[in-house]
Amino acid sequence: MIEQLDKADIAITERLQRDGKLSNVKLAEQLSLSEASCWRKQRRLEECGVIEGYQAILNRKKLGLGLKAFVQISCTDHSEEATATFEKIILAAPQVLSCHNTTGEADFLLEVVARDLDSYSRFVEKVLRKLPGVLSIRSNLSLREVKTTNRLPVSELLSI
């Protein structure tokens, strides 16, 4: 797909990452495109899956989710069935913001939010320790968030 993106496509994705509520009129104006052309390009980016959706970015601390943990999980059972069960449980846990199957010491790395340490402790006890085939759970609590973003560096695609 990357070879099919032009500078206007990349500019559209950059601007929409910054402001998903940007109207087609404003977007077209900022990019010096006709409204019809801009709309078609955005629609094509949506249809081919480059743009997966739009959402509001919420402030977790203002919502009372003051704790963020990065959790490393090592498993004893790597069968397809055990992995599928593990993933099903993790997908159903709203506290888990992201889950990655990784290389290195741990099999999975989770990003988890909770109200506080007590809430996180309950999550570990009721969800993580109940996961089948778990050998170890290692938590790293975030003391301070230096940077967090969902914005991809699409301008880097121009130099490829």
DSSP-derived secondary structure for 127-148: TGGGSTTEEEEEEEE-S-----
Length of the chain counted residue by residue: 160
| Per-residue tokens: 77 | 């059972």
Residue with tokens 């996961």: 131
Segment 6-34, tens digit of pLDDT:
999 999 999 999 999 999 999 999 999 99
Overall pTM surpassing 0.85 (yes/no):
yes
Segment 124-138, tens digit of pLDDT:
999 999 998 899 999
| Structural domains of the chain ordered from first start | 2-56 (1.10.10.10), 67-141 (3.30.70.920)
